[in-house]
Each structure stands twice: as C-alpha cells, then as structure tokens.
C-alpha cells in the first residue's frame, strides 16, 4: 500500500479554510503580508511553508496548528462493501456483516444480518443498553425472553435486552435486517 495518503496535503486544507472564510488568495496574502503567488503555490502543494509562516497563515484564517493538524475532520464517514467485515454461521444459517468497521469503539454498532429460511442469530444473554433494527426483506420473529414478536419488511423493532434474546427468520423467505446495538455488543 502506498504511503501517499498519510502525507497531509497542507495546500488543500489551506484552500478549504480560505474558502470557508470567503477570502480570495489575494486577500489572504494581504492579511499575512505574503505574495499571492506564494499562496497559490502553497495551495497547489508546489511549496512548503516554514512553521512560522504556516502559523501566521493559520492565524489569519482563524485557526491554530493544533486544530489544523487534528485529523478528526478526516475521519471516514461513508463506508462501502469493501469496508464491511462478514462472518457466516452455517449451523444457525446466518451471515453477519459489520457495516461500520471497528464500531466496538463507537457508541453503537450497526450490523446487517442475512438469515436463511428458519435461520437465526446466536441467542444472546441479557446485557445493558438497547437494540434497534429495521427489516429490509422477508420477515423475522424477535424473541426476547418469553415473548416472540413478528416483524416484516419495512417494520422496525426496538427493545431493551434484559433477558435472553435472538432473532429468527420465517421458514419461507428468510430475511435481511439492519441491527444496531448500543453499547456495541456483537
């Protein structure tokens, strides 16, 4: 894997900040007492500023070095098939896809479950938190303790997992559903 993505593209980030502030290259250059040509080269990553110059520019843009290099804004927001992690349980007839990778560190953990006809999820013991789901296709039976509740395509379910619980598919169709647990539990 190439390491280019690890290199911070300072130029692009400066350009974004400048545009957010509604400044032209010329206006930014004036504020920082630099040339427009330098700002242009900087934004196109054709030159690298000294730390002192970068600090000046960031001050003119109303931010600091720390915030500028804080990568929180670069966190991945959208995830595709290539990011999913899947596990198939042939005995229970289910496929579980973690559609948000490493969600264990998040507040909630969404998965997509595909059940074969009569398939089910592994019975889970009571735990803290809440569980929510949405049936994408087929129909399921949500089993919580002694209760069994049907849910079909287009319906959602929500419960507190305070007794043993699992989900099974109807015998005819099988099912696909989104299942979100908070805190992460899968």
- Domain harbouring 110, CATH code: 2.60.120.10
Contact at 8 Å (CB) between 112 and 139?
no
Instruction: Using the structure block, give the residue that is written with the tokens 């592994």.
Output: 122
Asked whether residue 177 is assigned to any structural domain, the reply reads yes
Contact at 8 Å (CB) between 98 and 151?
no
> Quick one: pLDDT at residue 65?
86
Give the Cα separation of 87 and 103 in Å (integer): 15
- Sequence-separated (6 or more) residues with CB below 8 Å from residue 73: none
- The residue range of the domain holding 45 is 7-74
Counting Cβ atoms within 10 Å, is residue 146 exposed (0-12), middle (13-18) or buried (19+)?
Answer: exposed
> What's the CATH code of the domain at 23?
1.10.260.40
Asked whether residue 2 is assigned to any structural domain, the reply reads no
Other Cβ atoms within 10 Å of 127 Cβ, number: 13
Those residues of the chain that have pLDDT short of 70 are 1-8, 71-74, 186
Judge if 143 and 63 occupy the same domain.
no
Judge if 57 and 145 occupy the same domain.
no
Judge if 70 and 94 occupy the same domain.
no
> Quick one: pLDDT at residue 105?
78
> Quick one: pLDDT at residue 3?
42
pTM for this prediction:
0.61
Asked whether residue 1 is assigned to any structural domain, the reply reads no
Judge if 59 and 111 occupy the same domain.
no
Judge if 90 and 64 occupy the same domain.
no
Judge if 114 and 52 occupy the same domain.
no
> Quick one: pLDDT at residue 69?
81
Which of 74, 96, 114 is the last residue before a domain boundary?
Answer: 74
């Amino acid at each position: 894997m190439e390491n280019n993505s690890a290199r911070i593209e300072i130029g692009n980030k400066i350009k974004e900040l400048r545009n957010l502030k509604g400044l032209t290259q010329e206006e930014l250059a004036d504020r920082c007492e630099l040339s427009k040509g330098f700002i242009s080269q900087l934004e196109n990553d054709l030159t690298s500023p000294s730390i002192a110059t970068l600090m000046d520019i960031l001050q003119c843009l109303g931010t600091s070095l720390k915030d500028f290099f804080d990568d929180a804004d670069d966190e991945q927001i959208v995830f595709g098939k290539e990011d999913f992690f899947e596990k198939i349980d042939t005995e229970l007839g289910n496929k579980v896809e973690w559609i948000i990778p490493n969600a264990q560190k998040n507040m909630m953990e969404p998965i997509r479950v595909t059940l074969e006809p009569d398939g089910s999820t592994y019975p889970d013991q009571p735990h803290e938190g809440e569980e929510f789901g949405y049936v994408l296709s087929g129909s399921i039976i949500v089993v919580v303790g002694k209760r069994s509740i049907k849910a079909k395509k287009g319906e959602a379910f929500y419960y507190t997992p305070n007794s043993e619980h699992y989900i099974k598919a109807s015998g005819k169709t099988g099912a696909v559903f989104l299942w979100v647990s908070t805190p992460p539990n899968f």
